[in-house]
């Protein structure tokens, strides 16, 4: 390895490019071809009929998913975004209600609330796990709060016992956004199965993926039925099905195709192996990076596992004496893939700063349905904002396979940069 940093003209620590993460094998190919040969790529009907619930591949996939995660009901959808929309709607959230959510998540987690003309309220996060902080959730509860939407960010569970206890005391429902954490454990259960509804992603670069897709899980048969109705043009079905509760039953098409379901079933069989590989890479990184000045490796809380969709770290610039931007640039120049400098602060997006979602007049914040005065001001979530702007440094592990050799190359690149921090300024 050359003595000079690649950022300053030296050779790269990682001269090649890691192959992209690819969990597919001949099983998925065979499954897709089997469905193609039937000529039935979707079997859903938007009417009260046995095909209202989809074809045999969709039903087999849902059954297998429910059995794997130990829940009563699994409802497949065409994306986790659709799943979050269906989940919020199924809870009966009304226009003008408030739903507490994290600023550190994919934007769809919060916009799923706005779809129902409800108001996202952003609570702050824990500095250790980057998940919603229960004390900040409680501080943001008002008489308009109806639910809490909790991401299990980066592959590690939120403090679900504390959040569920708070929700039960306050009469609130909880949705887990487990898009980044399939197979992650929370004591005796799986992440995504602790709340009233959990939502998983099958999107590109997730641990298992079908191109696009998602799955919602619940132990409540009424919530499962409502998500099935929202998924498939429920307004055309409720009369013949004999459904009396019409709240939020609006005609969406969130249906998963038969090919995606067949591939998803094959991917599900591999999930233990796929998450074990990511957990191994994360543990190997933590061992290899331990002791680097000013770098804090990820916490894994007692009773939890981490499946490392992202390997999240924290920097202390006072100790490194180099800015995060320079360190990130140096790692990228050495060939380290998927370097993240910060993550998200959704409350600072233009939509929330201007309070404008539907039309040009500020609806749903204005227009008479919402009686509160939610703030999205800078400084609202100080932990999240500090992490985003100054101290969080991450690696997107799900971009690549991260076998032992690749992991060791990344560790070597970190050590090369850290050995020359004084040259970064």
Query: How far from 250 is each of 177, 238, 339, CA to CA, in Å?
Result: 22, 11, 41
Check pLDDT > 50 for residue 323: yes
- In terms of Cβ atoms closer than 10 Å to its own Cβ (0-12, 13-18, 19+), residue 382 is exposed
User: What span, in angstroms and rounded, lies between the C-alpha atoms of 51 and 215?
Assistant: 18
| Cα 201 from Cα 208, distance rounded (Å) | 8
Residues 6+ apart with CB under 8 A from 95: 116, 117, 118, 364, 369, 370
Residue predicted with more confidence, 317 or 114: 114
Report the C-alpha gap between 372 and 369 in whole angstroms.
9
For 122, phi and psi rounded to 5 degrees? Answer: -90, 125
Q: Which pair of tokens denotes residue 324?
A: 């995060």
Neighbour tally for 174: CB within 10 Å:
23
pLDDT of residue 422: 87
pLDDT digits (tens, 9 = 90+) for 172-225: 999 999 999 999 999 999 999 999 999 999 998 899 999 999 999 999 999 999
Q: What is the largest CA-CA distance in the chain?
A: 74
39/259 Cα distance (integer angstroms): 11
Paired strand residues for 76 = 215
Element (H, E) at 75: strand 73-77
Tell me the average pLDDT of the chain: 96
pTM above 0.85, yes or no: yes
At residue 204, the pLDDT reads 86
What confidence tens digit (pLDDT) does each residue in 2-35 have? Answer: 579 999 999 999 999 999 999 999 999 999 999 9
pLDDT in tens, 54-78: 999 999 999 999 999 999 999 999 9
- pLDDT value of residue 1: 46
Q: Write the pLDDT tens digit of every residue in 169-187.
A: 999 999 999 999 999 999 9
- Per-residue pLDDT band for 232 (boundaries 50, 70, 90) equals very high
Q: What percentage of the chain has pLDDT greater than the value 90?
A: 96
Residue 363 in this model has a pLDDT that exceeds 90: yes
User: 């120049």: which residue's tokens?
Assistant: 333
Q: What is the pLDDT of residues 147-166, one digit of tens each?
A: 999 999 999 999 999 999 99
- Domains, the chain, with CATH or none: 26-267 (3.40.640.10)
Asked if residues 45 and 253 have their Cβ atoms less than 8 Å apart, the reply is: no
What's the pLDDT at 2?
53
Distance CA 193, CA 353 (A): 33
């Amino acid at each position: 390895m050359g003595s000079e940093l690649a950022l300053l003209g030296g050779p790269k620590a990682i001269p090649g490019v890691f192959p992209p993460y690819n969990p597919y094998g001949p099983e998925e190919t065979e499954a897709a071809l089997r469905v193609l040969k039937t000529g039935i790529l979707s079997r859903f009907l938007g009417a009260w009929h046995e095909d209202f619930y989809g074809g045999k591949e969709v039903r087999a996939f849902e059954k297998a998913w429910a059995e794997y995660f130990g829940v009563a009901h699994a409802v497949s959808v065409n994306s986790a975004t659709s799943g979050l929309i269906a989940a919020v709607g199924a809870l009966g959230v009304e226009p003008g209600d408030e739903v507490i959510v994290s600023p550190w998540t994919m934007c769809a987690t919060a916009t799923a609330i706005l779809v129902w003309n409800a108001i996202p309220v952003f609570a702050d996060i824990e500095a250790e796990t980057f998940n919603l902080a229960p004390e900040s959730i409680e501080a943001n509860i008002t008489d308009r709060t109806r639910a809490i939407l909790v991401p299990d960010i980066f592959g590690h569970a939120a403090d679900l016992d504390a959040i569920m206890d708070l929700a039960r005391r306050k009469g609130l429902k909880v949705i887990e956004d487990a898009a980044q954490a399939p197979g992650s454990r929370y004591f005796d259960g799986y992440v995504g199965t602790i709340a009233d509804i959990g939502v998983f992603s099958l999107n590109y670069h997730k641990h298992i993926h079908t191109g696009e897709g998602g799955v919602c899980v619940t132990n409540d048969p009424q919530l499962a039925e409502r998500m099935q109705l929202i998924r498939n043009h429920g307004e055309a079905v409720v009369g013949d099905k004999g459904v009396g509760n019409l709240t939020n039953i609006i005609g969406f098409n969130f249906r998963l195709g038969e090919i995606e379901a067949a591939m998803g079933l094959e991917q599900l069989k591999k999930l233990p192996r796929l998450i074990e590989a990511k957990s191994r890479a994360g543990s190997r990184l933590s061992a290899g990076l331990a002791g680097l000045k000013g770098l804090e490796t990820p916490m894994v809380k007692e009773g939890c596992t981490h499946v490392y969709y992202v390997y999240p770290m924290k920097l202390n610039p006072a100790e490194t004496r180099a800015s995060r931007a320079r360190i990130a640039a140096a790692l990228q120049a050495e060939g380290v893939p998927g370097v993240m400098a910060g993550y998200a602060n959704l409350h600072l997006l233009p939509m929330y700063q201007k309070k404008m979602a539907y039309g040009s007049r500020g609806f749903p914040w204005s227009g008479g349905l919402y009686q509160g005065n939610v703030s999205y001001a800078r400084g609202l979530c100080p932990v999240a904002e500090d992490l985003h702007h100054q101290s969080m440094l991450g690696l997107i592990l799900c971009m690549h396979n991260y076998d032992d050799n690749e992991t060791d190359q990344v560790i070597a690149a970190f050590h090369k940069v850290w050995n020359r921090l004084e040259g970064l300024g």
